[in-house]
Amino acid sequence: MRPLFPVVFLLTASILHGCGRQADTPSNVQAPGEPTSPKTSLLEGGAAALQTKRPIDAINTYLDGFHFYNGQQDVQMEAHHYCSTVNEDAIQCVIYDGNMRDAKLMGVEYIISAKLFATLDAAEKALWHSHVSEVKSGQLVAPGIPEAAEKELMKKLVGTYGKTWHTWHTDLHKQLPLGVPQLMMGFTGKAQARHAMVAERDNRMKVDSEAKRKARSDIPSPSPDPLADGWQYGNVYQPHDPQPHDPQPHDP
């Protein structure tokens, strides 16, 4: 059975492409605490050598895109997704605020096919966002793999839906995972994502969102389920969080 992510094809293409390291993106925050001690480093080394990490080893795809807080479209951030295939119709991703060793775990995203999404009830559908605009705009990218492999991946993702929770709001420079998880959404139209945010990512990662948009013009654009992206119709759900979620003055 062919997985939703064409893993073998992507890995083979990446090897042929050279598997170069993506542009470094450091974490947004420095968590408080003492520097790692030599004893802790030794324990980490021993654990790394002796323990298996099968769920982590199953991660095979790196995606970079953008989210915003459900109900607060002006509070936007970049999100680094590391994903593994569950089955033909489901994917699970861990989300970080960077792609270096110091990256902080921001949250999770679950991605399902249109077939599975159709089985959800109306209240549940409102919590999920469509991926059509993210793919077709060129803003969702898979850094480090050849264009042909990336395009095949985007063909798989364009009709899917994501449910995303952020648990550590490093985009707001929270040094610890304070408050409660927040439901995130994806962009559904032009001019929603801040131009400066996208341009900074493109420059850092040496990608061209506009060129990708043009290259993906022939990817079919399925009509999203009208009950997805509930925020567009005033159907906004968000757990109350005592921590403020306002943009920082120096954010792009």
Largest CA distance in the chain: 55
Instruction: Count the alpha carbons within 13 Å of 231 in the hemisphere toward its beta carbon.
Output: 20
Grouping H, G, I as helix, E, B as strand and the rest as coil, residue 131 is coil
Please provide the average confidence, as pLDDT, over all residues in the chain: 88
What was the pLDDT predicted at 50?
72
pLDDT, tens digit, for every residue of 83-133? 999 999 999 999 999 999 999 999 999 999 999 999 999 999 999 999 999
> Contact at 8 Å (CB) between 201 and 67?
no
Please check the confidence at residue 21 and state whether its pLDDT lies above 70: no
Averaged pLDDT for residues 230-241: 94
CA distance 35 to 105: 19
Between the CA atoms of 119, 120, 125 and 128, what dihedral angle is there, to the nearest 10 degrees? -80
Helices H / strands E in the chain, number of each: 9, 7
What was the pLDDT predicted at 99?
96
What was the pLDDT predicted at 43?
66
What was the pLDDT predicted at 219?
98
142 φ, ψ (degrees, to nearest 5):
-120, 85
Of 2-11, 40-49, 84-93, 136-145, least confident by mean pLDDT is 2-11
Averaged pLDDT for residues 227-234: 96
CA distance 118 to 116: 5
Q: Encoding tokens for residue 220?
A: 């079919």
If one compares 28 and 222, the residue with the highest pLDDT of the two is: 222
Alpha carbon 134 to its chain's center: 11
Please check the confidence at residue 224 and state whether its pLDDT lies above 60: yes
Averaged pLDDT for residues 145-150: 95
Neighbours of 190 (CB within 10 A): 9
Please check the confidence at residue 28 and state whether its pLDDT lies above 90: no
For residue 158, tell me if it sits in a domain.
yes
What was the pLDDT predicted at 37?
81
139 φ, ψ (degrees, to nearest 5):
-80, -25
For residue 26, tell me if it sits in a domain.
no
Domain extent, residue 183, equals 7-19+53-233
**Total length of the chain:** 252
> Contact at 8 Å (CB) between 210 and 199?
no
Share of the chain above pLDDT 90, in %: 72
pLDDT, tens digit, for every residue of 152-202? 999 999 999 999 999 999 999 999 999 999 999 999 998 999 999 999 999
For residue 127, tell me if it sits in a domain.
yes
The domain tally of the chain equals 1
- pLDDT category at 29 given cuts 50, 70, 90 is confident
Task: Indicate the pTM of the whole model.
Answer: 0.87
Please check the confidence at residue 44 and state whether its pLDDT lies above 70: no
Q: Encoding tokens for residue 89?
A: 């119709």
